[in-house]
Structure 1
Amino acid sequence: MARPAADGARLRPGDLARLLAPAPGRAQAAARIALTCTLVVLVTCIYRTPEAAISAYVVFFITRPDRASSILMSVAALVLLSFVIGLVMLVAVFSVDSPGLRVACIVLLSAGLLFLTSASKLRPIGAIVAMIVGFALDELGIVPTGEAATRGLLYAWLMVAIPIGVNVAVNLVLGRSPRRLACGRLAQCLRVAAGSLRAPRAGRDALDACLREAVQPVAGWLSLARLEGTLPPAELAALRHAAASTTAILLATDAVTREPCEHLPASFAAPIADTLDEMARLLGQGGYPVDIALTPPPAERLPAAAKTAAANLVAAINGYAETPAPDSDAAGNAAGKAAGKAAGKATNKAADQAHASAFFLPDAFSNPDHVRYALKTTAAATFCYLLYMQLDWPGIHTCFITCYLVSLGTAAETVEKLTLRLAGCAAGALLGTAALVFAVPALTSVGALMALVFAGTLVSAWIGQGSPRIAYAGFQVAFAFFLCVLQGAAPGFDLTIARDRIIGVMLGNLVVYLVFTRVWPISIAGRIDAALADLAALWEQLAATRHADTRRRQAAAALALQGTIHEDLSLARYEPASIGPAPAWLEQRHQVLDRFGAMAGPLFVLAETSPGDPEIARRLRRASGAAAGDATAAPDAPDAPDMPDVPDARAALLTLIDRRLAESGRAAPRGAAKESPRHAPT
């Protein structure tokens, strides 16, 4: 897939305006987060619990696009937190009177919880829990008496329990249905495909972005809809088949729109695009299209490759939500598994491990990066804790909290996020300070404070719900704004408190940056090579699979993995030269990824019409050659395939794949000067 034109460029004023522009669902998500944070602050004011800023900020971590996963995440976090607070109470019995022992307990509990954060399903909330544990033990050291210590632990529990309870209530009333999210994503993909068919050049960027995102989240949303009981089994099966058909439609569209010589005539493309728009309209209303009877104009004049791709496109549309018969489905699944067993051995092994241990990741106890992440974050947090204790400057205790909130796995991610952290923190501090100077002195009630919190949160949530290029900055805006404005159970405008808290945030960011990039750096390069190997195995597996829905689901997974690798390659340019990969190494991997993207459409069409074709494996080996160190694996003049007496369609598709491989191999190198690529998601 072609890389975005803006990739590698720094944010310009025009880019910032585009990234802040309205998008479908953005206003609703930002308003829901702002309302939840405002209600959290209201509850903390009523019960006068400490650290209202942290309670409000927790909402950003436990909120998900759909109501089901938001509620599940909240309940799981509450159960885990209750268990951990109980553990802290046991630890506190013998550590509360000894500062050294208390620090040792903070280190051990922090490292253990952060390991779980990196190596298990606790990834979204584990760091928050580790931070709460450390904060609780710190508070016990300040008030080491029985009743006060117990009250401190209760407040630590309430610090997270309050936002969890409010988040559950808000999502039960206003949360978005996972079914509507799934249908909305499918509708968006169909509209993009329709626009690309009508105007191939104008719709190229949108189609590339849609292919990178693919329909991978849809399967999770449909499973959540089944879990909450809003999707009957028959409709679940139909929408799962619709998601698989959408992948086939996107890839067939890519096959006929990438190059001018492959474009479908307007008279042929127009009725297909109109049908896709009508299907998208039905999906946007929460339903799904059935009984589609698209009959395109005669295709005799189309080139053989375009004719085959167009036939696949029409077939995917006409059978969009028609589930296969149970018998054929089971047989197809068995055949697909048998055919793909050898090609996908590594992928299947990882899947088997994941099923065997659903809580831990497949590499939880074999990948040392999980332990390194836990130790590095704990070291940074412990340094900050000891620093503000030795300086006797408790006002900057936010440096300790910040280490847990901003720690990342690799040096590339750390450096990439640093700019967003500092920019977001500065913007949030400016917004909070302006509120303290001009707005807070005029506030006379808690209701007025709620209005101010809602306005400030809405701004930060709007940024946070946008593109990954700026989303992380929105989180930092919210954090700094809350620390400035929320100083107690009533409006307060002590600028000294705001100053100290912002200094703590900046200090925590600096310590994390130094530890993760200078003291103990980990390069992202190893992750890229492992992902490229998985990508090659996944494409080989889907090419050998004979069951259509299985093959299409694997194609969606492959497209999503290609998008992830693209982001990691962009991030790699952030790493310091002392630990990062060389420009030539990056160029080799970029070329491998370009080859996979260029041949994705026609290769998938060939796999649909001729699954298990040995020529597909040959092209895949050629495309992935650079992953093994051969940067020129795709020749400029590919050998003509040896295929006597084969249908014209197959020969045309193989020729098209060869041409795309050759053209991607001759692509101009990316300049090493591009040091600020598109930001990756958090």
Structure 2
Amino acid sequence: MKQLHSFLVFSDLWPFDLKDRAFKALVLSSVVGLTIVFSKHLSLPETALSAYLVLFAVRPGAFETIGIAIALIFAALFAVGFLTLAIMATSGQPALRIPLMFVTAFGCFCLASGSSEGAVFTTAGMIIFEVLSGLDVIPFPDLVLRGMFWLIAVVMLPMSLLIVSQLILGRLPLSFVRNELGLRQKVLDARDAGDPSSKRVLRSFFLTSPRGLTKPLQQVRNSGFLLSSFPQWEALSDGTARNLALSLQNVLPHPIEMPVGGKTPRVNVRRTNDEKTPFSPDIRFALAATLAVGISYIVFLLLKWPEIHTITITTFLISISTKHETYYKAGLRMAGFFAGALITISTLLWVIPEIENASQLGLVCSVVLFPAAWIALSNEVVSYVGLQIALVFLLTVVNSPGPEIDLTIAWGRFCGILLGTLIVTVVFQTFLADRPEVRIGKQLSTLRRRNAARTFDQRGDGEEMLELIDQVAALRRLIFIARKDPTQTPSSKIALDSLWINTNRLFVEIVNRTRPLNQKAQNVPPNSRGRAS
């Protein structure tokens, strides 16, 4: 697993499509810099949060990013409307206000856990909690209400800039599909040309960087474009997809040959589902996340240290994972925290004193955060490091009326981020029971059923094969992350090992059930039963 981990990190930080990654990172860091410049000139509060939301909202496709940006704007509008009613109803009554803070946080975490884009609900919950808790420091509801409406601008400014950048420079569905299909063709061409690095290229692209084409393809169809108009698609649909998949069988890493005991047991998903649990997984997650927020809030009140207000912000922003992901991401957070702290201190000591205006600050932040944006555009194996570097840097350097060099404030914000990270990690590990092998087993069963139900449509077989391979690659990464959790029981480790092997077998089955589309359609394609290589 250590060898695979090193390979995953290296391959994703140095991807096959270097120019595309560099361009996206440049666009993101530029939007972050513009957000800081406009926010400073407009004297908006929480500049750091505005800038961080740019990296927080970005997705592989332009339409997905635009959708998340619009959703975050509506989440901010909802939060402000809810806060107006809440402050009017609980003014001068802490006994009502504080329970309302935690009930709202719990509800937002429930919605976040059950949604594919939980960041939207988490952001809304964070805004509501932070504003209501601000009454502890500023006991003037009218003043808080006036300042609260600036929060709309705090979210709307970066999201508007992000939307404009994606419309002008991002890959819209047609461009995105052309680029992705062309990239797959380049991978195949590298293999056919006998490139000595082709083995690493194939592993890197299909193990660490799967990109789902389902949504953009559907968006292209809805817009009236025909797939036959894409030269890249014509090449892939004429058997290239099958050849590309077949070429992967002998190059994908299989670090777990057999599980402990020498057998490959099947995970009994049905039996595990029948086990009685007091709450659903979404409610258990929301309870654990709300408990972490509560502990952070109590620590903030007890220490009476205003500079560590980042403790609750951090708790909201990182409480978006399951238990087994929490341990793995805790290591990424710590790595990102220390890297971000080192970069931040260096910037405060040697760069910030030379800055004279907000434009220079925005330029410095764009340059400094370019590597963080590069890392954040990776997949979850390493991307959290980039987000954490950006969070530490922005909350420490940017979130003030002007460029600052006060290391006392920086130290307080460092401590708040570190304490929030530790609290979430400990609470999730202690109170959030999670069976990753059950959840992954369900997803594997779903993929098996989809593969068995394929109709081998003349135009859809290659497309469906590519989609299934992407999902198998994502499933491999989930198993890998779950296997890295040292708190897993021996039975869970055996189950995860068997899931890894069964996932590899499913990959071969998908390949063997794919035929070149210029052949005549058959009810059952040849070699429909695959064996793990």
- TM-score category by the smaller chain? 0.7 to 0.9
1:149 and 2:144 aligned = yes
Change in CA separation of 1:240 and 1:141 when aligned onto 2, cut-off 3 Å:
farther
CA contact (8 A) 2:242 2:462 kept: no
Q: Which residue of 2 aligns with 1:520?
A: 432
2:502 is matched with which residue?
Answer: 592
- Give 2:275's aligned residue: none
**2:303 counterpart (391, 401, 404):** 391
Residue 242 of structure 1 aligns with an amino acid whose one-letter code is: W
Q: What's 2:268 paired with?
A: none
Query: What is the aligned partner in structure 2 of residue 34 from structure 1?
Result: 29
Deviation of the 1:548 alpha carbon: 2.7
Residues 528 and 215 from structure 1, CA distance in 2 versus in 1: closer, same or farther, beyond 3 angstroms? Answer: closer
Deviation, structure 1 residue 137: 1.0
Tell me the TM-score normalized by structure 2. 0.85
Q: Supply the distance in 2 between the matched residues of 1:64 and 1:597 (Cα, whole angstroms).
A: 26
**Paired amino acid for 1:221:** P
Distance verdict in 2 for CA 1:119–1:466, change over 3 Å: closer
1:134 has 2:45 as partner: no
1:523 Cα deviation from its structure 2 partner: 2.8
Match of 1:270 in 2: none
State yes or no: 1:7 paired with 2:1.
Answer: no
Deviation at 1:83, TM superposition (A): 1.8
Q: What CA RMSD, in Å, does the superposition of the two structures yield over aligned residues?
A: 3.2
* Among 163, 167, 172, the residue aligned to 2:162: 167
Alignment counterpart, residue 106 of structure 2, candidates 95, 104, 111:
111
Partner amino acid, structure 2, of 1:568 = L
Who is 2:44 aligned against? 49
- 1:86-121 per-position Cα deviation (integer Å, ceiling 9, x unaligned): 011111122232333222111111111222222235
Deviation readout 1:53-99 (Å, 9 max, x if unpaired): 11111111223344433333222221222122101111112223233
Report the equivalent of 2:468: 558
Say whether 1:178 aligns with 2:173. Answer: yes
Equivalent pair of 1:572/1:581 in contact (CA under 8 Å): no
Gaps of at least 5 residues in structure 1 are 261-365, 617-649, 665-682
Distance 1:563 1:257 in 2: 12
Matched residues in 2 for 1:498 and 1:393: separation? 12
- Matched residues in 2 for 1:61 and 1:436: separation? 24
1:452/1:143 Cα in 2 relative to 1: closer, same or farther (>3 Å)? same
Does the CA-based 8 Å contact 2:440-2:479 persist in structure 1?
yes
Question: Structure 2 vs 1, CA of residues 248 and 508 (structure 1 numbering), >3 Å: closer, same or farther?
Answer: farther
State the 1:367 CA deviation.
Answer: 9.1
Unaligned runs of 5+ in 2: 252-277
Task: Go from structure 1 to structure 2 and tell me whether the alpha carbon gap of 1:189 and 1:46 turns closer, same or farther (over 3 Å shift).
Answer: same
Q: 1:569 aligns with which of 470, 476, 479?
A: 479
SS in 2 for 1:143: coil
**Paired position in structure 2 for 1:60:** 55
* CA distance in 2 between partners of 1:467 and 1:41 (Å): 26
**Could you tell me how far 1:530 is from its partner in structure 2?**
0.5
Contact 2:33 2:365 in 1 (8 A): yes
Which residue number corresponds to residue 86 of structure 1?
81
Does residue 289 of structure 2 align to residue 377 of structure 1?
A: yes
**What are the superposed Cα offsets for residues 441-489 of structure 1, whole Å, 9 maximum, x if unpaired?**
2222222222221222223112222454322101111111112211423
Q: Give the 5 Å matches for 1:283-432.
A: 368-432=280-344
Aligned residue in 2 for 1:251: 242
Deviations 1:541-578, CA, capped at 9 Å, x for gaps: 11xx1423343343233212211221121112222345
2:214–2:467: 8 Å Cα contact kept in structure 1? no
> Which whole-Å CA distance do the structure 1 matches of 2:202 and 2:353 have between them?
51
1:476-529 Cα offsets, whole Å, 9 max, x none, are 111111122114232111111111111111111111111111222313111111
Counterpart CA distance in 2 for 1:22 and 1:368 is 41
Q: Deviations over 1:611-653 (max 9, x none)?
A: 433xx7xxxxxxxxxxxxxxxxxxxxxxxxxxxxxxxxx5xx4
Supply the distance in 1 between the matched residues of 2:461 and 2:11 (Cα, whole angstroms): 39
Distance 2:365 2:171 in 1: 23
Q: Distance in 2 between matches of 1:213 and 1:156?
A: 37
Tell me the distance in 1 between the aligned counterparts of 2:143 and 2:490.
49
Aligned partners of 1:197, 1:16: CA distance in 2, in Å? 21
1:444 maps to 2:444: no
**Matches of 2:371 and 2:206, distance apart in 1:** 30
Q: Structure 1 pair 459/258, CA: closer, same or farther in 2 (3 Å)?
A: closer
The structure with the largest alpha-carbon Rg is 1
- Show the 5 A alignment for 1:144-293: 144-199=139-194, 203-211=198-206, 217-224=212-219, 233-236=224-227, 238-239=229-230, 242=233, 245-246=236-237, 248-255=239-246, 258=249
Which residue matches 1:278?
none
Q: Give the corresponding residue for 1:335.
A: none
- Shift in CA distance, 11/216, structure 1 to aligned 2, threshold 3 Å: closer
Give the superposition deviation at 1:237: 5.8
Find the residue that maps to 1:474 and give its secondary structure. Answer: helix
Q: How many residues align?
A: 506
Residue by residue over 1:149-183, the C-alpha shift from the partner in whole angstroms, topping out at 9 and shown as x without a partner, is: 21232133332122122223333443333322211
CA–CA separation in structure 2 for the residues paired with 1:247 and 1:152: 60
Provide the rounded CA distance (Å) in 2 between the counterparts of 1:423 and 1:368: 32
Deviations 1:419-454 (A, max 9, x none): 111111111111111111111122222222222212
Work out whether residues 56 and 387 of structure 2, in 8 Å CA contact, stay in contact via their aligned partners in 1: no
User: Contact 2:309/2:413 (CA < 8 Å) preserved in 1?
Assistant: yes
Return the match for 1:454 from 363, 366, 391.
366
Q: CA deviation at 1:10?
A: 8.2
The alignment partner of 1:569 has SS state of: helix
Deviation of residue 184 (structure 1)? 1.0
Change (3 A) 1:536 1:422: same
Q: Is the 8 A contact 1:216 1:556 kept in 2?
A: no
User: 1:62·1:70 contact (CA, 8 Å) conserved in 2?
Assistant: yes
The Cα shift of 1:247 comes to 9.3
Q: Separation in 1 of the partners of 2:499 and 2:63?
A: 38
With over 3 angstroms needed to count, the CA separation of the structure-2 counterparts of 1:121 and 1:522, relative to structure 1, is closer
Structure 2 counterpart of 1:92, one-letter code:
I
1:186–1:243 contact (8 Å) kept in structure 2? no
* 1:197/1:253 contact within 8 Å kept: no
Q: Using the alignment, how far apart are the partners of 1:96 and 1:485 within structure 2?
A: 34
CA distance in 2, matches of 1:528, 1:109: 30
Give, in whole Å, the separation in 2 of the partners of 1:522 and 1:148.
Answer: 44
Q: Which residue type is aligned with residue 107 of structure 1?
A: F
Q: Matches of 2:41 and 2:350 in 1, distance apart?
A: 25
Q: Say which structure, 1 or 2, has more relative contact order (CA 8 Å, 6+ apart).
A: 2
Q: Distance in 1 between matches of 2:74 and 2:332?
A: 32
Q: Could you tell which deviates more after superposition, 465-474 or 597-606? A: 597-606
Moved more, 485-494 or 119-128: 119-128
Answer whether contact 2:328 2:484 (CA < 8 A) is retained: yes
How many angstroms apart in 1 are the aligned matches of 2:123 and 2:483?
29
Q: CA deviation at 1:385?
A: 0.9
- In structure 1, distance between residues paired with 2:332 and 2:210: 28
Q: Which letter maps to 2:464?
A: Q
